[in-house]
Structure 1
Amino acid sequence: MQEVPHANSLTTGNPQPYYATQPANGVDSSAPAPHYAGPPTYPLDDLSSDGKKSDPELAIPAEKTSTLQEGSEKFHRLGWKQLTVCLIVEAIALGSLSIPSAFATLGMVPGVIMCVGLGLVAIYTSYVVGQVKMRYPHVSHYSDAVEIIWGRFGKELAGVMFALFLILLVGSHALTGTIAFINIIGDYGTCALVWGVVSMIILLILALPPTFHDFAILGYIDFISIISAILITIIATGIQAHNAPGGLNAVNWSAWPAPGTSFYEAFLATTNIIFAYSFAVCQFSFMSEMHTPTDYVKSIWALGLIEIFIYTLTGALVYAFVGQNVGSPALLSAGDIVSRIAFGVALPVIFISGSINGTVVSRYIMDRVFTESPIRYVKDAKGWAVWFLLISIVTIIGWIIAEAIPFFNALLGLISSLFISGFTFYWPALFWFQLIKEGKWNISARNIALSVLNSCVLVIGLVVLGAGTYASVEDIITQYNSRAVRSPFTCSAVSYA
């Protein structure tokens, strides 16, 4: 048995915590309210009634209190606007320009429905994730939340999934950086590994800010970068379509999937949209640094609506301008010169959005390894040395995996199907049933409606897990059969073009 924090209500934005003895693997929300056992006894960051502290420390020796208190304050400066920026950096990257190719497979109508519908689902599941953080302030990362419902096994499973997925994303952005540099420079004589190493070094440097408050400064540059790249792509493809014979009327886009589209192709396209909304994976980590965690609702609504608007508009317009032959990313369809300019404009988003994944996973490792040590707060030379070493290891491992596996992007799709199905869908649904729901599922109209909604979210997660995995495996097989994979650690720049 262990003591875990809980709260009666979030509706006022002012949760009133109580602590009670609860099973380690979950909470029976239908049981009578447990007896109030008094406030938590943490020496630092005691949970206040206004929800302004979010990362309680374990009991520590008195001589370390001052140092850790100062370090803790350094990691509690994130406001809701900075949280929004961090979520944008983590969620909206160059992959948003793969949405038009998803529209080309699904058709205009299903594409729009998927973008809007899945976006609303992602906003809701992110809201549930925030509710869990508010009721259980000791949760610092996703694995801590899974531990509450699945015990130690769940914590370790989610931790491995969390770390592996984020490290692979770092590798993915290193690979994207290589492709961008090759397209921008247009020099196919230089060994591609040179650009890969350059990309890795840039990712390493940008991941060095240890707090998300500091990292948020880079987020503004990131957002301007991706919006500019998208606008360049939309305008360029629109002008091309207007000037082509027959104009816009000659573009071969369709409202529905093309005849002969297989299930594997359609679901693979759908996963591109699903993964574009996978911002809940880092939400616990970001919220742990908020000075007022109750403000998270503003952030997820701001991010969710921005994503829905950008993805739907980009997918629909570029598909309408280019048609079935739209490239992925779509800026490849903007013409040689314009696509090189767009890649140049997109360089900040490629590296900033990639580096934040390294920062998040490194914070997770630091929090687990140095729980009671000042090293965790990266305040002195020793802390910075450990932090730099950790960021370097994470970035290098990501780069090595991306270069060593010739079908890396397809592998990332497989890993995403296996992991994002949990982070974005079925775990938040289980959180609601086991940690958030008050009373029996049919005790009120509200509970019935939310039970149905979360059951649907759970089913979506299981479908993504099964069908997404199948589609990703089929994609790997198709790439091998068509000889579309490159060699490991290849110097051939042409294979990246």
Structure 2
Amino acid sequence: MATLYDDEKKHDRAVADLDSDHDSDNNTEVINALLAEDNQHDIKLRTMSWQRAAWLLAGDQVCLAIMAQSWSLSVLGWVPGIITMLVAGTLFYITSLTMHKFIMKHPQIKDICDFGYYAFGKSKIAYEFTAIMLLLNNIMLIGFHILTGAKVINTLSDHSLCTVVFSVIVTLMGIVMSLPRTLNHISFMSMFSAACMGMAILLFLIFAGIEDAPLYGPNGDYPTLGPVKTYAFPPKGTTFVAAMNAVLNITFLWVPQILFPTFISEMERPQDFPKALAVLGGISAILFIIPPAIGFRYLGQYASAPAFGSLGPVVYKKASFAFVIVPTLVIGVIYANVSAKFVYNRIMGNSRHGHSNTVVGWGVWVAVMAVIWIIGFIFAEVIPSMGDFLSLLGAAFDSFFGFIYFAVAYWQLFKGRLFRGLSRSILTVIHILVMFCGLFLLGPGLYAAVEAIIDDYSGSVKPAFSCANVAI
């Protein structure tokens, strides 16, 4: 195994000094050198156009979590819910631009681990800490998508087989679909994935509008909670844990930046990433707010997560939920690719097998990918409530990867001139808010997530590797 920081040392020699304000020419030279080096390999990674990157971003972001936002609104009400969505979206866009600017200052960054290494002053501890969080976050999310795939098949087949069998099927499909080595190839899948999720959302909105009444909600079947209603603020009796989990549910949807450094590193022109980000920002602003708001309007206090589960007629539920299988697999593939690349690069180092079509190279890649999906499968089977564990991920990991890391990166970029001019002062204040948001998620947010998991275990817990029906 090569030394962990071989690449960093090699590129540091090429970069020489990236800490001045006048390094754009140096950075362009480094990017061109990285591209030229990549073009000499059999397996070329730096091939994505910004249009392909935009599709990849959309494929990652247009996901089932959108359909959990109506439930968040049912907990928080219109005013806190919409404000949380708008604030999360605004901070997501600003911090993503900060992340890109930092990566352009250090173009040798290949993933979020490299980002953490440079943001915290070339700290190897920060690198290893980020690596652990990257793998835990991504593999648990793969497990969530395996469980979601099993839910979809359970729902469509009326639980015709043991749920573990469905999970195995989804895992095997995920391994096969994850075999492409480049994100450029996966971006093709992302186009189809985003289209399928868009169709699922559209059908849900149609069905929610035309049905007589919802079927049930997390707190009771219709009409035990009375007529469908919406409200401006959290209903009486809403606990801090419930409200905090609803907030975490929203921030989880808006915080995908853990993957962005890897996406940028595989672009032919990483300078063009803001174009792809602008496309994603437009798509997200529409899909992350309007469909959940419409869902809350028609489901009210009966909104479940995902909202498909609240639809009355079974045929409506099946027709809309069926399209979710594609984004479920493709998003799992994206997280698996980023995770596998990190592990694979640690194993292969600068060996020619790492970027050539050799038996050893492909054998190690397939083995790493299979292990990642199998661990994800185990997570999917042994965790009693993936929803609460997603809140835990949002608090423990998104607090860093969506907020704290980018506040620190901003400080590294502009230290000594944080309040030079009005626009810089405004951005500095915003990034101070970003840091406080991250610390809040890491403190009270983590407490709320852990409390929810404790509640899971205090009641009836789904046995590990259970055949129980998990259909919505």
| TM-score using structure 2 length | 0.89
Q: What's the offset of the Cα at 1:174?
A: 0.4
Matching of residue 486 in structure 1 with residue 462 in structure 2: yes
- Give yes or no for the alignment of 1:111 onto 2:81: yes
User: Given that residues 91 and 434 in structure 2 are in contact (C-alpha distance below 8 angstroms), is that contact kept between their aligned partners in structure 1?
Assistant: yes
Matched-pair contact (CA < 8 Å) for 1:142–1:282: yes
**2:163/2:466 contact within 8 Å kept:** yes
Q: Does 1:257 align with 2:227?
A: no
Say whether residues 1:453 and 2:412 are aligned partners. Answer: no
Quote how far apart the aligned CAs of 1:179 are.
0.9
Conserved? CA contact 1:54–1:293, under 8 Å: no
Shift of 1:121: 0.7
CA contact under 8 A between 1:139 and 1:284: conserved in structure 2?
Answer: yes
SS in 2 for 1:132: helix
| Residue correspondence of structure 1 range 432-443 to structure 2 within 5 A | 432-434=410-412, 436-437=413-414, 439-443=416-420
Matching residue within 271, 275, 288 for 1:294: 271
Which whole-Å CA distance do the structure 1 matches of 2:43 and 2:361 have between them?
16
CA contact (8 A) 1:71 1:377 kept: yes
CA contact (8 A) 2:78 2:233 kept: yes
Other-structure match for 1:221: 192
Query: Which residue identity lines up with residue 306 of structure 1 in the other structure?
Result: I
CA distance in 2, matches of 1:478, 1:407: 10
Deviations 1:372-430 (A, max 9, x none): 12222252332221111111010001111221232343233213311111001110010
The C-alpha deviation readout for 1:38-75, integer Å capped at 9, x for no partner, is: 96xxxxxxx64495565786xxxxxxxxxx64327711
Question: 1:240 and 2:211 equivalent?
Answer: yes
Q: Is the partner of 1:164 in helix, strand or coil?
A: helix
The residue aligned with 1:183 is 155
Over 3 Å counting, the alpha-carbon distance change for 1:390 and 1:4 in structure 2 is closer
Aligned positions of 1:407-446 closer than 5 A: 407-434=385-412, 436-437=413-414, 439-446=416-423
For residues 227-271 of structure 1, the C-alpha deviation after alignment (integer angstroms, 9 at most, x for no partner) is 00001111100111589999xx95311122111211111110011
What is the match of residue 131 of structure 2? 159
Cα RMSD over matched residues?
Answer: 2.8
Q: Is the 8 A contact 1:120 1:304 kept in 2?
A: no
3-state secondary structure, aligned to 2:258: helix
Residue type at the aligned position of 2:237 = G
The number of aligned residues is 453
Q: CA deviation at 1:333?
A: 1.8
Work out the CA distance in 1 between the residues paired with 2:66 and 2:32: 34
2:108 is equivalent to residue 138 of structure 1:
yes
Q: Does the 8 A contact of 1:71 with 1:379 survive in 2?
A: no
Aligned equivalent of 1:405: 383
One-letter amino acid matched to 1:309 = I
Q: What is aligned with 2:259? A: 282
Say if 1:184 and 1:88 are closer, same or farther in 2 by CA, change over 3 A.
Answer: same
Checking the alignment, whether the CA contact within 8 Å between 2:388 and 2:453 is kept in structure 1 is yes
What secondary structure sits across from 1:134 in the alignment? helix
Runs of 4+ in 1 over 6 A off after TM superposition: 2-6, 242-246
Aligned partners of 1:111, 1:309: CA distance in 2, in Å? 15
Could you tell me how far apart the structure 1 residues matched to 2:299 and 2:340 are? 41
Q: Using the alignment, how far apart are the partners of 1:53 and 1:231 within structure 2?
A: 45
Counterpart contact for 1:429–1:457, Cα < 8 Å:
yes
Aligned residues with identical type, % of pairs: 25
Distance 2:11 2:410 in 1: 16
Q: Is this contact kept in 1: 2:152–2:471, CA < 8 A?
A: no
CA distance in 2, matches of 1:285, 1:243: 42
Could you tell me whether the CA contact under 8 Å between 1:54 and 1:290 is conserved in 2?
Answer: no
- The equivalent position to 1:371 in structure 2, one of 349, 360, 365, is 349
1:370 maps to a residue whose letter is M
The Cα of 1:139 is off from its aligned counterpart by: 0.7
C-alpha distance after superposition, 1:437-466 (max 9, x if no partner): 164223322332221111000101111111
Match of 1:303?
A: 280
Amino acid at match of 2:424: N
Deviation of 1:368 (Å): 2.6
Q: Does the 8 Å contact 2:150/2:167 carry over to 1? A: yes
Aligned to 2:163: 192
Partner residue, 1:10: none
Could you tell me whether the CA contact under 8 Å between 1:241 and 1:322 is conserved in 2?
no
User: Match for residue 394 of structure 1?
Assistant: 372
- Using the size of structure 1 for normalisation, the TM-score is 0.85
Counterpart residue number, 1:320? 297
**Aligned positions of 1:16-165 closer than 5 A:** 19-20=16-17, 48-49=28-29, 51-52=31-32, 69-71=39-41, 74-150=44-120, 151-165=123-137
Task: Check 1:180–1:390 CA distance in 2 against 1; reply closer, same or farther (3 A cut).
Answer: same
Q: Within 1, Cα distance between the matches of 2:162 and 2:43?
A: 46
1:201 equivalent to 2:172? Answer yes
- Structure 1 regions of 5+ residues with no counterpart? 7-16, 40-46, 58-67
1:358 is matched with 336
Question: SS at 2:82's partner residue?
Answer: helix
Is 1:236–1:334's contact at 8 Å kept on the other side of the alignment?
Answer: yes
Distance 1:404 1:289, change over 3 A: same
Equivalents in 2 of 1:496, 1:171: separation in Å?
16
1:384 equivalent in structure 2: 362
Cα displacement (A) at 1:468: 1.6
